[in-house]
Amino acid sequence: MSFFESISQLPEDPIFSIPLLFKSDPRPRKVNLGIGNYRDAEGFSHSLTCVKKVEREIAERNDPNEYLPIDGHAEFLKVSQELIFGQALQLSSNSFFAAQSIGGTGALRIGAEFLTQETSKAIFLPNPTWPNHKLVFSRSGMKVHFYRYYDEASQSLDFVGLRNDISNMPPGSTLLLHVNCHNPTGINPSYEQWKELSALIKQQKIIPFFDFAYQGFADNPEKDAEPIRLFVSEGHEMLLAYSFSKNFGLYSHRLGIFFMTINHKETISKVSSQIKQMIRSSYSNPPKLGADIVMEILKSDTLKEEWLKELANMRDRLIQMRHALRSGLQAKASHKDWSFLNRQKGFFSFCGLDQGQVHRLIKDYAIYLPANGRINVSGLNPQNIDYVIDAIVDVAHS
């Protein structure tokens, strides 16, 4: 007899199972277009030169291993706020709270638990969205709903459907929004559409919760931050989950930040007390090394410039691979208009493949990607791009 024998067996995570399946595949010609970490032109996980430089300097300093405060590294939080929000915070009448988190996912979980306990139990997610969003919010006790976002027929943003669904959301609901590089579609509103959404969300008395995991991968760090700076400048009370995994290559450091803007200054201390108690009862306080690395880079004009150049190189390679994919597909499957691929930005691309076609890519070609057909564009490189194009053309015709 076991106390735990009645526990249900849950399926493996569909994203994190892809690297394991890929690794165990004995075929010499195989391609991993699955999990969303950046790969260089040779197909290897990429470490930034500026990050490695700072890691060596920190190691040589032999700093003491002390606990950080519950809400994290204060100086890291300060320089990160400047990167993300620019002058918007100084121009806003709202008060502001920030806490270091265990990656962007940890920041989402902090916000979800706070909302469940204190404010709102209903959250609306875009359809489609990153699969873990549903798990994070439902496991935190929130009731998950979906709003229209992607129009499969036109392979573009369903802005009319999005607006209509927001107009029907109950006041006090929470609305999750991808700031840029939407996962999985690569499609986001234009700046003019963000202005419309800001006005509508304020009119409907809805709480925006931004997920910002790809700053610098759509256009550049400043332009990519425009939507949240707009919302801050227009006085929204809002939440934001931020990740440094992609743009600093700090995947294993699990470095993120949770932000809130509040209309009443006296409420900040109450929010802070609640958030810090959640953190204390969960992981107690965040790790230090990743925060030290980012702080050192953002404080130094030279290192920051080096980081911006490395980030631009990664972004440019994604753009080149996306254009190569589109050009190749257009040349070999000209019966279809593939121009929608060039409207997508960031790591991910929807190529219009269904689950059966994805299964064939894995089975016949050892090309691994999630069942929804989302590809990680950085998994493409000059050595495999033609092979991937030929495989997509083949399965798309079947």
pLDDT (tens, 9 = 90+) of the chain, 398 residues, equals: 788 888 999 888 888 888 888 899 999 999 999 878 898 888 888 889 999 999 999 999 988 889 999 999 999 999 999 999 998 877 777 788 999 999 999 999 999 999 999 887 899 999 999 999 999 999 999 999 999 999 998 999 999 999 999 999 999 999 999 999 999 999 999 999 999 999 999 999 999 999 999 999 999 999 999 999 999 999 999 999 999 999 999 999 999 999 999 988 889 999 999 999 999 999 999 999 999 999 999 999 999 999 999 999 999 999 999 999 999 999 999 888 999 999 999 999 988 889 999 999 999 999 999 999 999 999 999 999 999 999 999 998 76
Q: Are residues 76 and 92 in the same domain?
A: yes
Domain boundaries, position 77? 67-299
Distance, CA of 322 to CA of 316 (rounded, Å): 10
Instruction: Give the strand pairing for 143-148 and 122-127.
Output: parallel
What domain count does the chain have?
Answer: 2
Q: Are residues 97 and 189 in the same domain?
A: yes
Task: Answer yes or no: 363 catalytic.
Answer: no
Beta bridge partners of 261: 96, 238
SS3 content of the chain, % helix, strand, coil (to 5): 50, 15, 35
How many other C-beta atoms can be found within 10 angstroms of the C-beta atom of residue 170? 12
Distances (CA, A) of 279 to 65, 106, 176, 301, 338: 20, 10, 22, 33, 46
Task: Answer yes or no: 130 catalytic.
Answer: yes
CATH number assigned to the domain comprising residue 78: 3.40.640.10
Q: Are residues 341 and 211 in the same domain?
A: no
Q: Coil, strand or helix: which one is 31?
A: strand
What pLDDT score was predicted for residue 302?
98
Q: Are residues 248 and 128 in the same domain?
A: yes
Angle, alpha carbons 360-34-44 (nearest 5°) = 120
Distance, CA of 183 to CA of 347 (rounded, Å): 8
From 158, 246, 292, 307, the catalytic residue: 246
What pLDDT score was predicted for residue 381?
96
The alpha carbons of the chain give a radius of gyration, in whole angstroms, of 21
Task: Answer yes or no: 265 catalytic.
Answer: no
Domain boundary among 299, 315, 340: 299
Residue 12 and residue 367 in contact, taking contact as beta carbons nearer than 8 Å: no
Q: Are residues 227 and 358 in the same domain?
A: no
From 130, 194, 307, 338, the catalytic residue: 130
Q: Are residues 247 and 183 in the same domain?
A: yes
Q: Are residues 73 and 117 in the same domain?
A: yes
From 71, 158, 165, 211, the catalytic residue: 211
CATH number assigned to the domain comprising residue 35: 3.90.1150.10
Q: Are residues 113 and 241 in the same domain?
A: yes
Q: Are residues 316 and 269 in the same domain?
A: no
Residue by residue, what is the 3-state secondary structure of 101-170? Answer: EEHHHHHHHHHHHHHHHHCCCEEEEEECCCHHHHHHHHHCCCEEEEEECEECCCCEECHHHHHHHHHCCC
What pLDDT score was predicted for residue 94?
78
Residue 4 within a domain: no
What pLDDT score was predicted for residue 147?
98
Q: Are residues 33 and 74 in the same domain?
A: no
Both structure tokens of 285: 């306080």
Distance, CA of 181 to CA of 187 (rounded, Å): 7
What pLDDT score was predicted for residue 398?
65
